[in-house]
Chain A
Amino acid sequence: MDLYLVEAIINGILLGGVLALLALGLNLIFGVIDVVWIAYADIVMCGMYVIYFLYASYGVPLPLAFLIAIVAMAGFGMLVHILIISPVLNSAPINQLLATGGLLFFLQSFATLLFGTDFRNIGVRLPVLEVGSVYISFSRLIAFGVGLVGAIVLYVFLKRTYIGTAIRAIAQDRDIIGLMGVDQRRIYLVTSAIGGALAGLAACLLALQYDVHPYIGNTFGPVIFMICVLGGLGNMIGGFIASFIISQIISIGGYYSSTELAYVFAFGFFIVLMFIRPRGLFAR
């Protein structure tokens, strides 16, 4: 078998790890709060800037910078909920989309104003591993591993803890959750914090591979939405699987043609599937 194809498949799997992490965060928020955070990828951008300035400008050790970014984005997620989502919680869905869409433009423009449109890189060069004759980027391997561990930790949290059970329950019947002694507002805040933290974690993994600039959210934001819809909005397992399907299409498509065409293939696949299964691949 063609070694470059093997490399493309492996890269596809590795790319899927980060996408899965972001799809999980978006699906969690949608499933629980019933609001789509259009600006989700731009929260990742904010996290990447936090890491860049802490590490490259202020010399904070990288692991500490990562930790601060995750915590800061968790706090940012709560802030987004309190300032933007909470006031429109009972409004029409279109108003909620406009509100979080407005946040997207706000964040991108604000970042441009503050930092300009320069591409900045934290300048960490991780080695490339050679397995047999196949080359695997170490930073991608880390991204995949951490993405997978993050997903497992989230699964265990949702399955084993009282708060996690409440988060799953609220997604199934929000009107009577108060009768269980659960404060709905508190669960929404916790969920927003987890969503923010997942965006922060993704920022750590992406900062190792990509330059940060104000519009980096646009390069993977649409892909994440596509993945979530493909897996069935709010369906976390569906989104997880869809991440790996889409990342394979992008990676293998990129091998046979070009990266740009690969995205065309991915979106084409998505459009065709929306005709066949409008509620997503794994609709219940």
Chain B
Amino acid sequence: MRKLIRNVRVMDPGDGFDAITDLAIADGRIVLREERIADFPADEELDGTGLIACPGLIETSFHAHSPGHDRDGDMASELRAAVAGGITQVLLRPDTQPVTDTPAVVQEQRQLAARLGLARVHCAGALTTALQGKALSEMAAMLDAGVLLFSQAKVALPDAALLRLALSYAADLGRPVWLHPEDVDLAAQGVMHEGGLSLRLGLPGRPAAAEQVGIYRDITVAALSGCAVHFPQVSTASAVALVAEARRRGESVTCGVSIHNLLLCEQDVGFFNNHAKVLPPLRTIAERDALRRALASGTISAISSDHCPWGVDREGMTFVQAPFGISAVEWLLPLALRLVDEDILDLMTVLGLLTQGPAQVMGLPAPSLAVGAIADMCIFNPDTYFTLDPTRSWSRGQNLPYGQWQLRGQVLYTLVAGRIVYRG
């Protein structure tokens, strides 16, 4: 399939290229990037006037309940949501049901994804058996089955000695380990940020100190092991500072942030809004602003939607009973454009945090729109404004606190290896 995209603003955070030009695609790769391409017979020509083309977005935290209960979503429903959001690659979280801790689960995930042919799917294997933090999982076997890296999903390890061994073992295999940094005893059974609002609502809180203590321990132990570690969702200024400090010492430590912690705060829980129940919890405005500053300073590598859909069954639960998670992969780009509109970051930096940064922390080749690059691409209209309606979602989860938000940025085409997998 040969495609020609005319007159589109190409924004490539890889090489900083930003100009209105034409793009020609053949055999899944970009073959020409120049103005007014002539003599390129294409099967389809797209008019890119007024649109932006950027490398396909990469979601670093993606839950598709596969395997799991399909009332909450499945590989097909959630990947459709992802490509509708301009996402061309996702990393599956291992906290599935059963947990992704055997080659069989990994093979099933990869086969399902291959059959669907939507976004590229990468698997994360559980670092410990059933994520329980009691025994190392069979990492080499999972690696042979095709996992990209190892992760503890949203479960902190209670045992620092086991963490040290797990990181050392993973270091042999040359793959990074993703950790949820939190002191399990301080976090305890907390269901939201510990602060003024949790006190008013009488809900058990997770103090910011739990993340600070947890990340300090994890960074210290990681330095003993020689393993690269990544914290996919940090939520506090102190955690970011500890990551920055470790990086200054030359340690292989990176962190990401979820869009929720950049746009929302504890007050969004309101009177028991289940849709704002998420891990790490929504914190104070001061923490939110510190995370925004850390984005601008480059300490944070990636922005994620931390996609976790839950079916309508959850709506009948109390805030305490409801599981953690927000379903927002489809709206990651429009939500991230809020950061541009609020003068936190420029557009190129935001796109970098959704493409380059995720690829880097996952150990993937850098996405690019240069000639010769694989044509994974998101083409969107930055000036289409809309009101977010959760009921019109591809995802099976309508659990997001952004209903009725006015956003801009509509994805019109998502391309994976030159093939259009979504048309808006």
A and B associate: no
Interface residues of B (CB under 8 A from A): none
Interface residues of A (CB under 8 A from B): none
